[in-house]
């Protein structure tokens, strides 16, 4: 398809972005072109928009960013057989090589050669996006566009929570950004006995309660360790899902975990973090996991099943809908923490 489109471009090495008119992307024989119907802002996009230390070392403007979306297939490459024109899709945002040792042993989510849509390639904050057909996930026809657009970050929450046993256990979610908020709901759906959400933002703590958290703790007003131990009869929590990336919170997570517990870390600290490995990991016998992306496509099946069953309702997380032209308002809300998920419509 030839022509021009509106797109949100990370235009320079600095704060912000610009709405521009750019070429509609061309596809090769194994790719598809998707008309974007809804796209949501992720914390990674905020890193890029704000131009923090991580983004400075990773992305190369100018380019179209954004990676969470839902849309309709409007063109397919000559060798594409897995989807057809008119299919309603979202996408796994990690493009993997398929040939490294990790890919060959069923661990494509940690492919050594991963490229991320909208980070390492052209993204979906646009009217159209081109992607490999193998990255697409077909959505049920009845799924709302906004819900379909946030399946990818919900997959992060699912992967983090379900990286170990949850049923009957106490779970702490540290950091109530949108993924942390969804993690609270996933943990309850998975049978957690008690879910405790920690953050500094009362607005987002309320969203965590709306998603199913049993208790919320404002770590700026209460001692998070004291509250964690009070709520677990002095034992500490069984599972810690670290979503904040703050050095103090990471250390608190390790300290509040019970002996033999699990700490799953999805967050991306922008600088090295000093921790007490001897006392907080080794002597406690903790399992500490790094979580990246989603298992392809096991996590997508879990997300789809949880949504279809009604066990997890993500609509409380979606707090704002804006046209793409109002992207600055959306990013401002994200930076200030005055929103859950912000969905943009091209």
Domain co-membership, 89 together with 195? no
Q: 39, 47, 159, 216: which one is catalytic?
A: 47
- What percent of the chain lies above the pLDDT cut of 90? 98
Give yes or no: residues 44 and 142 share one domain: yes
Nearby residues of 54 by Cβ (< 8 Å), 6 or more positions away:
47, 268, 270
pLDDT confidence of residue 117:
97
Q: Which of 11, 39, 44, 258 is catalytic?
A: 44
Cis peptide leading into 271, omega within 30 of 0? no
Strands (E) across the chain are located at 4-10, 18-23, 31-40, 63-64, 68-76, 88-91, 94-95, 115-116, 128-132, 136-138, 170-174, 194-199, 215-218, 237-242, 257-265, 287-290, 318-323, 341-345
Any domain includes 302: no
Band (88; pLDDT cuts 50, 70, 90): very high
SS3 state of residue 90: strand
Cβ atoms of residues 19 and 58 within 8 Å: no
Same domain, 21 and 146: yes
In a domain, 83, yes or no: yes
CATH of the domain at 82: 3.90.180.10
How far is 129 from 144, CA to CA, in rounded Å? 20
User: Are 240 and 284 found together in one domain?
Assistant: yes
Q: Are residues 283 and 197 in the same domain?
A: yes
- pLDDT 10s digits, 227-275: 999 999 999 999 999 999 999 999 999 999 999 999 999 999 988 999 9
Query: What single-letter DSSP state applies at residue 19?
Result: E
For residue 42, being part of any structural domain is answered with yes
138 and 77 assigned to the same domain: yes
Within-domain flag for 298 = no
Statement to judge: residues 106 and 176 lie in one domain = no
Residues 113 and 248 occupy one common structural domain? no
Q: What confidence score (pLDDT) does residue 270 get?
A: 82
CB within 8 A of 165, min separation 6: which ones?
Answer: none
Domain extent for 101: 4-150+314-345
Residue 204 lies in a domain: yes
Whether 295 is covered by a domain: the verdict is no
The answer on pLDDT for 149 being more than 90 is: yes
Q: Are residues 302 and 157 in contact, defined by beta-carbon separation less than 8 angstroms?
A: no
Residue 299 lies in a domain: no
Q: Per-residue pLDDT averaged across 298-306, rounded?
A: 97
Q: Do 9 and 136 sit in the same domain of this protein?
A: yes
Does 338 share its domain with 230?
no
Q: Are 175 and 244 in contact (CB under 8 A)?
A: yes
Our answer to whether residue 44 is catalytic in this structure is yes
Active site residue 47: yes
Burial of 218 (0-12, 13-18, 19+ CB in 10 A): middle
Do 161 and 206 lie in one domain? The reply is yes
- Please give the average per-residue pLDDT across 179-205, as a whole number: 98
Asked if 145 and 27 count as a contact pair (C-beta separation under 8 A), the reply is: no
Q: Using one digit for the tens of pLDDT, what is the confidence trace for 199-236?
A: 999 999 999 999 999 999 999 999 999 999 999 999 99
pLDDT at 78: 97
For residues 41 and 226, what is the distance between their CA atoms, to the nearest angstrom? 34
Backbone φ and ψ for 32, nearest 5 degrees, come out as: -130, 155
Q: What is the pLDDT of residue 282?
A: 98
SS3 string of 178-194?
A: HHHHHHHHHHHHCCCCE
Tell whether 232 and 253 lie within a shared domain. yes
Q: How far apart are the first and last CA of the chain?
A: 18
The mean predicted confidence, pLDDT, of the chain is 97
Sheet of 287-290, strand order: 215-218, 194-199, 170-174, 237-242, 257-265, 287-290
Alpha carbon distance 338, 66 (integer Å): 20
Is the predicted pLDDT of residue 312 greater than 90, yes or no? Answer: yes
DSSP secondary-structure letter at 92? Answer: -
pLDDT tens-digit readout, 323-346: 999 999 999 999 999 999 999 999
For residues 244 and 270, is the Cβ–Cβ distance under 8 A?
no
Dist. CA 285–CA 276, nearest whole Å: 13
Number of structural domains, the chain? 2
Neighbours of 217 (CB within 10 A): 24
CATH number, domain with residue 166: 3.40.50.720
Can you say how many angstroms the Cα of residue 10 is from the centroid of all Cα atoms in its chain?
Answer: 20
User: How far is 318 from 40, CA to CA, in rounded Å?
Assistant: 9
Q: Is the pLDDT of residue 307 over 90?
A: yes
Per-residue confidence (pLDDT) for residue 114, from 0 to 100 = 97
Q: Is 239 part of any domain?
A: yes
Q: What is the DSSP string of 253-321?
A: HHHHEEEEEEEEE----SS-----HIIIIITTT-EEEE--S--TTHHHHHHHHHHHHTS---GGGEEEE
Residue 159 has pLDDT above 90, yes or no: yes
């Amino acid at each position: 398809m030839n022509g021009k489109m509106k797109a949100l471009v990370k235009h320079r090495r600095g704060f912000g972005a610009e709405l521009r008119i750019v070429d509609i992307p061309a596809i090769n024989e194994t790719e598809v072109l998707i008309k974007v119907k809804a796209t949501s802002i992720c914390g990674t996009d905020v890193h890029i928009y704000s131009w923090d230390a991580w983004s400075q070392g990773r992305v190369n403007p100018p380019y179209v960013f954004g990676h969470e979306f839902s849309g309709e297939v409007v063109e397919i490459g000559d060798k594409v057989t897995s989807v057809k024109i008119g299919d309603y899709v979202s996408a796994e945002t990690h493009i993997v090589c398929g040939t490294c040792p990790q890919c060959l042993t069923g661990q494509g989510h940690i492919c050594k050669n991963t490229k991320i849509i909208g980070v390492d390639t052209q993204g979906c904050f646009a009217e159209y996006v081109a992607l490999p057909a193998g990255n697409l996930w077909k959505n049920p026809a009845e799924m709302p566009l906004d819900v379909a657009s946030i399946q990818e970050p919900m997959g992060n929450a699912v992967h983090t929570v379900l990286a170990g046993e949850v049923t009957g256990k106490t779970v702490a979610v540290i950091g109530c950004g949108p993924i942390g908020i969804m993690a609270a709901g996933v943990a309850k759906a998975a049978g957690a006995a008690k879910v405790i959400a920690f953050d500094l933002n009362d607005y987002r703590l309320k969203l965590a309660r709306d998603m199913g958290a049993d208790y919320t703790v404002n770590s700026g007003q209460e001692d998070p360790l004291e509250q964690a131990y009070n709520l677990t009869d002095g034992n500490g929590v069984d599972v810690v899902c670290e979503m904040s990336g703050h050095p103090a919170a990471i250390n608190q997570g390790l300290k509040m975990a019970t002996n033999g517990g699990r700490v799953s870390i999805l967050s991306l600290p922008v600088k090295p973090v000093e921790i007490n490995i001897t006392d907080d990991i080794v002597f406690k016998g903790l399992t500490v996991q790094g979580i990246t992306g989603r298992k392809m496509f096991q996590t997508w099946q879990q997300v789809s099943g949880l949504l279809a069953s009604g066990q997890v309702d993500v609509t409380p997380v979606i707090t704002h809908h804006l046209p793409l032209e109002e992207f600055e308002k959306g990013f401002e809300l994200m930076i200030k923490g005055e929103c859950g998920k912000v969905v943009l419509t091209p």
